[in-house]
Amino acid sequence: MIDAAISLMEEGESYASMTVASITSRAGHTRTAFYFYFRDKRDLLMAATDRLVGGLFTDADHWWSGGGGRQVLATALQTILQDYRKSRALIRALVEATSYDRVVADYWHGEIERFILATEARLPETYTPPTRRGVASALVWMIERTYYLRILDDDTAGDAVAVESLLEIWTRALELRP
């Protein structure tokens, strides 16, 4: 059913206008089956996002846990943007829902918090609280917003510049060597 919902969104149906009936029809299941797995459409959106976030966290963890330098970070940033592009319909729906659904917003901010904590752990000791926390938060949200704006359309022409710009900012903030 998650795949059915994503397929509908990829075809242009907004999350707000999508119904349980349209999802179950596409999936070839009944409404009863939907409610066996999900409480509501919001629950389905968050379950779909869980799959995406798991992959994003794995991609980022190659850098966080490896102690790699600039090139490893560059690879992580490129891979995350590619994952965003592959999941653009889902991310657009998620961001849409965060604007009017407090539960979804809290969920998404909680997921982002995992990335902030992991980034905070990689910051040099020169950052002290509360600046340390603020820098980690700014770095992570910078990626989230930049990549969200990149995926609003199919134009990939600026992707390399976006990744290089984020890489430069992160490299300086983290005092990485080439």
pLDDT at 41: 96
pLDDT at residue number 161:
97
What topology does CATH give the domain 40-174?
A: Tetracycline Repressor; domain 2 (1.10.357)
Where along the chain do its domains lie? Answer: 40-174
Averaged confidence pLDDT in the chain: 94
Contact 159, 150 (CB under 8 A): yes
pLDDT of res. 28: 97
**pLDDT range class, residue 59, cuts 50, 70, 90:** confident
> Measuring CA to CA, which residue among 50, 44, 2 is closest to residue 26?
2
Position 68 pLDDT exceeds 90: no
**Higher-confidence residue: 63 or 45?**
45
Peptide bond between residue 124 and the one before it cis (omega within 30 degrees of 0):
no
Q: Report CA torsion sign: 117, 122, 128, 133.
A: negative
Share of the chain above pLDDT 90, in %: 86
pTM value is 0.92
pLDDT computed for residue 177 by the predictor: 72
- Spatial contact of 91 and 144, defined as CB atoms under 8 Å apart: no
Tens digits of residue pLDDT in 9-19: 999 999 999 99
Indicate whether 101 pLDDT > 90: yes
